[in-house]
Structure 1
């Protein structure tokens, strides 16, 4: 992600973003959580890249007790907000400060990677997607949800077996403001 994100989201702005995200993006997070919950195998290791205040992982923890959940964000203050908001799920979710191009995970260690509204902040899609592919297990899934108008470099996903990009429609917003990318690793 951009260096701007790590410095912009200080403690005050991170808390403010969390409040706005809960109100404005709750429907999107519920949709993504439902998608991940439906696609993740029992006991799957799930990594949320650009987790922000951790809202998605909190919802996943409530839906699926069997999942091993982790989230990374470039902002230490955003990770602090995510940890503070985890409440009863704090023992089930691990949040870390990390960049999408340098994830603190071993090769082939994650079953499903999800990223919601952070791809538009990645300065180098190819480098980011290469790193995501490194930590994804063979047969694993990458789900990226972002604004429909966000820059999408299909060639960055060329090493994946299958790539599909489609509009994401939400009940509360009839226009497809968001798009999703689904990619699977060979």
Structure 2
């Protein structure tokens, strides 16, 4: 998968004016600050995954940043193979560094790439998760098409982002993808000690193939 790193210069331009947060020293600052704030959300994702009773399979974390959630998943579910992908070379470098330190590199793989052109074969993953990344995606239709493509039949997508994300925007994008006609569940999510929900979760499931 690492051959895709040759595209990094084209990909990183999509980081726009927030580039400094996700590259260079900013990636380590992000790890030490923002990740602390989102850790309760990561715990919610772990709880949601546990509800599936998925004892084997592959999980993809889109917009993985320094890979904290992906590594948490690997520690919590020792029989799962976990992948994380992010546009930032420095974030992925940091994620790989932490994975080596935690001695889980046999089960966790981090790749540089764009949600609009995922470097994975069709039907690769049982579950795709994404946290606080959706609002960075340009034109939601193509990312949703890619998520559908890499899902196994019956696989699930759980996208968590701030509650200000409008459900109507995601539903409109969904309607022009293969997820059209699939009910999209959306709910406000409370985490940690917040007295109110600050996140929203969008849930989609790829239809199962049936014999004809």
Counterpart-to-counterpart distance in 2, 1:180 and 1:100: 18
Paired residues in the alignment total 186
Residue of structure 2 equivalent to 1:94: 109
1:114 pairs with 2:129 = yes
Deviation sequence 1:104-131 (CA, Å, 0-9, x none) = 1111111100000000000110111011
* CA displacement at 1:173 relative to structure 2: 0.6
User: Within 5 Å, which residues of 2 pair with 1:11-26?
Assistant: 11-26=24-39
* CA displacement at 1:28 relative to structure 2: 0.9
Residue of structure 1 equivalent to 2:202: 181
Residue of structure 2 equivalent to 1:156: 173
Residue of structure 2 equivalent to 1:169: 190
Larger Rg: 2
Counterpart-to-counterpart distance in 2, 1:64 and 1:135: 21
Decide whether the 8 Å contact of 1:125 with 1:156 is kept in 2. Answer: yes
Residue of structure 2 equivalent to 1:77: 90
Q: Which structure dedicates a bigger proportion of its chain to strand?
A: 1
Counterpart-to-counterpart distance in 2, 1:109 and 1:156: 23
Counterpart-to-counterpart distance in 1, 2:205 and 2:70: 21
Residue of structure 2 equivalent to 1:59: 72
- Tell me the SS of whatever aligns to 2:64: coil
* CA displacement at 1:162 relative to structure 2: 2.6
Q: TM-score, normalised by structure 1?
A: 0.93
Structure 2 spans left out of the alignment, 5+ residues: 1-10, 208-212
Counterpart-to-counterpart distance in 2, 1:150 and 1:15: 27
Decide whether the 8 Å contact of 1:50 with 1:71 is kept in 2. Answer: yes
- Tell me the SS of whatever aligns to 1:88: coil
Deviation sequence 1:33-59 (CA, Å, 0-9, x none) = 221233252212100000011111111
Structure 1 spans left out of the alignment, 5+ residues: none
Deviation sequence 1:64-114 (CA, Å, 0-9, x none) = 111010000010101011111222212210000000000011111111000
- Tell me the SS of whatever aligns to 1:114: strand
1:3 pairs with 2:14 = yes
- Tell me the SS of whatever aligns to 1:153: helix
Decide whether the 8 Å contact of 1:157 with 1:183 is kept in 2. Answer: no
Counterpart-to-counterpart distance in 1, 2:148 and 2:104: 28
Residue of structure 2 equivalent to 1:135: 150
Counterpart-to-counterpart distance in 1, 2:29 and 2:116: 26
- Tell me the SS of whatever aligns to 1:70: strand
